[in-house]
Amino acid sequence: MREFTKDKTMSIYFFETDQQQQTYLTERLPDETLNFCSEPLKTAAQARDMFDAEIISPFVHSHVSADVLDALPSLKMIATRSTGFDHINAPCAESRGIPVCNVPTYGENTVAEHTFALILALSRNLHKAYMQTSAGNFSLTGLQGFDLQGKILGVVGLGGVGRYVAQIARGFGMIVLACDPVEDSEKAERFGYTYTTLPDLLGRSDIVTLHAPLTSETRGMIGSENLSLFKRGAFLINTARGELVDTEALVRALDDGILRGAGLDVIAGEEVFSEERQLLLNPNATAGSLKTALTNLSLLRRPDLIITPHIAFDSLEAIERLMITTVANIQAFRRGSPQNVVHG
């Protein structure tokens, strides 16, 4: 770990912050030099303007690559305001003695509740009903839903969020199947789910919900091969990471009737929703980025999809917990005992 002087004011840069977060951080880190940016950190060119940064605190839309790290010669710590850290080149940071500290828990129940918001919206056609009634059409045609009681919910990934989802599902009278590399029989009994293999879960579940981390093993785990195993007419929910799902394969599965619908809070390449105009007009845009943009934009017109803009984590209480832990991570590092250090 890079050395620092405990009684010296440190230069800290926070990215993707709003005014409320900036006020909170200013009040709780009064002895540091704080710099705020509402935009994500993505390029080395941006980082070069922050060459004095000793601590940076990105959020999920920032990309802390090796090039960005090269442009930050004074950097001593990264305090990401998230549980996931796939937006940071953690091995590179670790090799340079720069600890990457995350927020291990802050929104398990929050994300689980949003998961069920998507499930309920799909099961009762709330999105279609809203659009119809907004247009003055009060017909019931095409709006009949289905009960959750007695349905099988397949939960992929039984960390904190997955366990909350299983617990909520049991309250609805659902049968819960679970798939996770590490099985915990005590928690399975307590939260009321049964472990099985991924192929069996996909083949039996009426609704499949993803709560796995993004790793080299899980990237694209829901692709053409696994989608072919789904129970015909099932629904897919993803509030975890967009890259868990092959978007093109998902579209084919919807077109072919393998899936009846999907609820997505995250999509691979989701940043194009706010940048599509600049991307489409950019003469240097790659064929891959343009294809991702067009594919994702086409999803917005599908009546069998509900898409929310990566807000599953975003409740008042969850953000407060996130900020509390981020401040504690910075203070622990300043004391010389970093906490919540992740390893790539």
Q: Indicate if 241 belongs to the active site.
A: yes
- Find the catalytic residue in 81, 163, 241, 260: 241
**Are residues 80 and 58 in contact, defined by beta-carbon separation less than 8 angstroms?**
yes
**Are residues 207 and 155 in contact, defined by beta-carbon separation less than 8 angstroms?**
no
Collect all residues with Cβ–Cβ distance below 8 Å to 301 and sequence separation of at least 6.
Answer: none
Instruction: Write down the H helix ranges in 56-177.
Output: 66-70, 90-95, 108-123, 126-134, 160-171
- Whole-angstrom Cα distance, residue 1 to residue 16? 26
Tokens of 129: 């009903």
- Whole-angstrom Cα distance, residue 70 to residue 272? 26
- Find the catalytic residue in 94, 113, 248, 276: 276
Collect all residues with Cβ–Cβ distance below 8 Å to 311 and sequence separation of at least 6.
Answer: 114, 265
**Are residues 128 and 122 in contact, defined by beta-carbon separation less than 8 angstroms?**
no
Would you name the residues annotated as active-site residues? 241, 276
